[in-house]
Structure 1
């Protein structure tokens, strides 16, 4: 995360966080959860690049009829 990025505070089940810390091999709870979230996002982007899912989703959104307001 770059400087100036908004931060979100959340509460997580302690057992879940400890499990993430052990699996990630990171002793700091915040760093461990952040590492897992970053990995999840990176994997999602790689999957989208391989499958073209992002492009397909964008085409689907563009193809939906728009409701004109006014």
Structure 2
């Protein structure tokens, strides 16, 4: 798996570590990102938003009014 390096504010990472109860900063941030992705997938499954977005992409370009 490819790895990326991200620079984050230390206070933000410490807050994540405290809330997640994880002592390793890398693991704490990874857990939050994985949870965010999983939550998005659950929401998509419940609402059916994925298929709706795909239909919009395949449709013709919309003319902006205004």
| TM-score of the superposed pair, with normalisation by structure 1 | 0.84
Q: Number of matched residues?
A: 61
In structure 1, the residue matched to 2:58 is 62
Matched, 1:30 2:26: yes
- 1:47 is matched with which residue? 43
Note the residue ranges of structure 2 that are not aligned, 5 or more in a row. 62-66
C-alpha separation in 1, matches of 2:41 and 2:59:
23
Q: What SS does the aligned partner of 1:12 have?
A: coil
Runs of 4+ in 1 over 3 A off after TM superposition: none
| Secondary structure, counterpart of 2:5 in structure 1 | coil
Q: Corresponding residue for 1:18?
A: 14
What residue ranges of structure 1 are gaps of 5+ in the alignment? 66-70
TM norm structure 2: 0.89
CA distance in 2, matches of 1:36, 1:58: 27
Q: Distance in 2 between matches of 1:29 and 1:52?
A: 34
Report how far residue 64 of structure 1 moved: 3.0
**Could you say what the CA RMSD is over the residues aligned between the two structures, in angstroms?**
0.7
